[in-house]
């Protein structure tokens, strides 16, 4: 759930000679024109007034500033007070213009001679943990860790369907050379059936908050577009129906054999007690085919099933990929993969 973090609201603030700003609370979405590292409300409003010196200084020439075809109509600071968000006009599409929660922005208006100056104690409003891609704003974490710059051109309040890999960038757990393709909409599995040498292929997806997640290239899954939520989602068959996982962009990746960073390592794989009908559980063998010397392996899947499953242990390999445990079918006649949270060899 995305919440607004509202601080003390300034009723009216003075900015420049030609433009003033009035505090306004609304649930109607606005276009996001730019997010720049400014800590003062006055500087934010100067940027909204088109002061190129303020904007260029804030960007520190780290990237070319894109001239926006939209006119800045409102501003606000993020909750941490580290970044200024420049807002354009309100979204006209009545079917998608409402935000999940109201937000307070400083809306540009014509100054009157009686417009009061801001009080020294005034504090601007801020936003926190808002869904950047669906609602037009970006979370503080996205701004601070640099993910925002990767998606800057996608900062529209209402997203338009594009390629599945649109604006994808590699995370800390993979490299450009690890990319082997793009998932295909509606295909099963989404990244196709890989050759024996590439059975460890996974879907590296980026969520709306800019973080990466690893998704299995499962034989009983597909990727679809949700027209109401305006988002891609991964759908996988389970014993209770279909499970859906929403994401922003994705690529097919052959994960590095060795973790590239500490965050890419897996926690110890849990060995659960034997499920009903199974006996004598022992830990599975990692990166070994088959994964058990016993005849059967039981596994607890993250997405594919709501209940634990038991299978023949032959032609099965369990490996750590980009921070997640992956179980693979390695036989030449059948391919499949599952992200798992626990497993055990059983009688």
The DSSP code sequence of 86-132 is EEEEEP--TTT-EEEEEEEEEEEEE--TTPPPPPTT-------S--H
Residue 112: pLDDT band (50, 70, 90) is low
Question: 193-224: per-residue pLDDT in tens?
Answer: 988 878 889 999 998 778 899 999 999 999 99
Q: Does residue 22 surpass a pLDDT of 50?
A: yes
Mark which of 236, 262, 288 sits at the end of a domain: 262
Q: Both 138 and 47 in a single domain?
A: yes
Give pLDDT, residue 178.
96
Q: Does residue 45 surpass a pLDDT of 80?
A: yes
Mean pLDDT across 288-294: 94
Q: Does residue 263 surpass a pLDDT of 70?
A: yes
Q: Does residue 295 surpass a pLDDT of 90?
A: yes
Total number of domains in the chain: 3
Q: Residues for the chain: how many in total?
A: 347
Q: Both 257 and 270 in a single domain?
A: no
Residue 47: pLDDT band (50, 70, 90) is confident
Instruction: Among 178-182, 265-269, 308-312, name the one with the lowest average pLDDT.
Output: 308-312
Mark which of 245, 262, 279 sits at the end of a domain: 262
Residue 169 lies in a domain: no
270 with 341: CB under 8 angstroms?
A: yes
Q: Both 256 and 267 in a single domain?
A: no
Q: Which residues does residue 22 pair with via DSSP β-bridges, in sequence order? A: 12, 107
Instruction: Among 122-131, 181-190, 328-337, name the one with the lowest average pLDDT.
Output: 122-131
Q: Which residues does residue 326 pair with via DSSP β-bridges, in sequence order? A: 319, 339
Residue 189: pLDDT band (50, 70, 90) is very high
Residue 134: pLDDT band (50, 70, 90) is very low
| Residue 204: Cβ within 10 Å count | 27
H-helix segments, the chain: 41-48, 52-59, 132-135, 140-145, 147-150
Is the model's pTM score more than 0.75? no
134 with 230: CB under 8 angstroms?
A: yes
Cα distances (Å, whole numbers) of residue 118 to 46, 87, 109, 287: 15, 21, 15, 64
Label the pairing between strands 221-226 and 231-238. Answer: antiparallel
Q: Both 240 and 274 in a single domain?
A: no
Q: Both 306 and 215 in a single domain?
A: no
116 with 20: CB under 8 angstroms?
A: no
Residue 168 lies in a domain: no
- From CA 142, how far away is CA 151, in angstroms rounded? 10
Residue 1 lies in a domain: no
Residue 165 lies in a domain: no
Q: Both 46 and 180 in a single domain?
A: no
3-state SS class at 160: coil
Residue 328: pLDDT band (50, 70, 90) is very high
Q: Does residue 122 surpass a pLDDT of 90?
A: no
- From CA 140, how far away is CA 80, in angstroms rounded? 7
Mean pLDDT across 23-43: 80
Mark which of 247, 262, 277 sits at the end of a domain: 262
- Residue 322 makes CB contacts below 8 A (sequence gap 6+) with 173, 174, 202, 204, 212, 214, 253, 255, 256, 259, 264
Residue 272 lies in a domain: yes
Q: Both 257 and 271 in a single domain?
A: no
3-state SS class at 147: helix
Residue 31: pLDDT band (50, 70, 90) is confident
- Residue 251 makes CB contacts below 8 A (sequence gap 6+) with 165, 168, 179, 181, 182, 183, 203, 204
Q: Both 207 and 296 in a single domain?
A: no
Q: Both 225 and 321 in a single domain?
A: no
Residue 159 lies in a domain: no
Give pLDDT, residue 80.
65
Residue 299: pLDDT band (50, 70, 90) is very high
Q: Both 334 and 287 in a single domain?
A: yes
- From CA 140, how far away is CA 82, in angstroms rounded? 9
Residue 53 lies in a domain: yes
Instruction: Among 113-117, 245-249, 334-338, name the one with the lowest average pLDDT.
Output: 113-117
- From CA 191, how far away is CA 184, in angstroms rounded? 6
Token duo for residue 230: 């305006």
Which is more confident, 86 or 327? 327
Q: Both 252 and 135 in a single domain?
A: no
Give pLDDT, residue 98.
66
Give pLDDT, residue 53.
52
Which is more confident, 82 or 285? 285
Q: Does residue 287 surpass a pLDDT of 90?
A: yes
Q: Does residue 104 surpass a pLDDT of 50?
A: yes
Mean pLDDT across 84-112: 75
- From CA 247, how far away is CA 134, in angstroms rounded? 11
Average of per-residue pLDDT values in the chain: 76
237 with 221: CB under 8 angstroms?
A: yes
Residue 167 lies in a domain: no
Which is more confident, 35 or 251? 251
Question: 143-165: per-residue pLDDT in tens?
Answer: 333 333 434 334 334 467 889 99
Q: Both 277 and 335 in a single domain?
A: yes
Token duo for residue 208: 């709306």
Domain holding 222, by residue range, is 176-262
From first CA to last CA, the distance across the chain in angstroms is 44
Closest CA to 149 of 63, 30, 249: 63
């Amino acid at each position: 759930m995305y919440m607004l973090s509202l601080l003390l609201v300034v009723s009216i603030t003075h900015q420049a000679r030609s433009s003033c700003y009035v505090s306004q609370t609304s649930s109607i979405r606005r276009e996001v024109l730019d997010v720049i590292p400014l800590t003062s409300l006055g500087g934010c409003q100067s940027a909204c007034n088109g002061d190129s010196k303020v904007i260029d200084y804030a960007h520190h020439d780290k990237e070319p500033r894109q001239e926006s075809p939209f006119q800045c109509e409102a501003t606000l600071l993020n909750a941490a007070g580290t970044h200024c968000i420049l807002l354009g006009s309100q979204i006209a599409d009545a079917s998608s213009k409402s935000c999940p929660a109201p937000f307070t922005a400083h809306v540009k208006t014509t100054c009157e001679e009686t417009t009061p100056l801001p009080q020294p104690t005034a504090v601007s409003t801020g936003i926190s943990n808002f869904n950047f891609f669906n609602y037009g704003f970006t979370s503080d974490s996205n701004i601070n860790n640099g993910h925002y710059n990767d998606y800057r051109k996608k900062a529209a309040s209402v997203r338009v369907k594009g390629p599945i890999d649109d604006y994808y960038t590699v995370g800390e757990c993979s490299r450009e050379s690890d990319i082997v393709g793009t998932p295909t909409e509606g295909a099963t599995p989404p990244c196709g059936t890989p050759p024996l040498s590439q059975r460890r292929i996974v879907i590296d997806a980026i969520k709306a908050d800019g973080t990466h997640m690893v998704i299995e290239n499962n034989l009983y899954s597909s990727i679809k577009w949700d027209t109401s939520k305006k988002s891609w989602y991964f759908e996988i068959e389970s014993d209770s129906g279909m499970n859906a996982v929403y994401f922003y962009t994705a690529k097919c990746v052959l994960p590095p054999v060795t973790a590239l960073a500490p965050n890419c390592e897996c926690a110890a794989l849990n060995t659960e007690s034997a499920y009903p009908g199974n006996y004598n559980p022992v830990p599975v063998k990692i990166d070994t085919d088959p994964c058990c010397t016993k005849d059967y392996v039981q596994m607890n899947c993250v997405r594919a099933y709501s209940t634990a499953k038991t299978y023949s242990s032959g032609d099965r390999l369990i490996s750590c990929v980009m921070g997640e445990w992956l179980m693979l079918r390695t036989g030449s006649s059948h391919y499949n993969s599952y992200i798992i949270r626990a497993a055990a060899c059983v009688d």
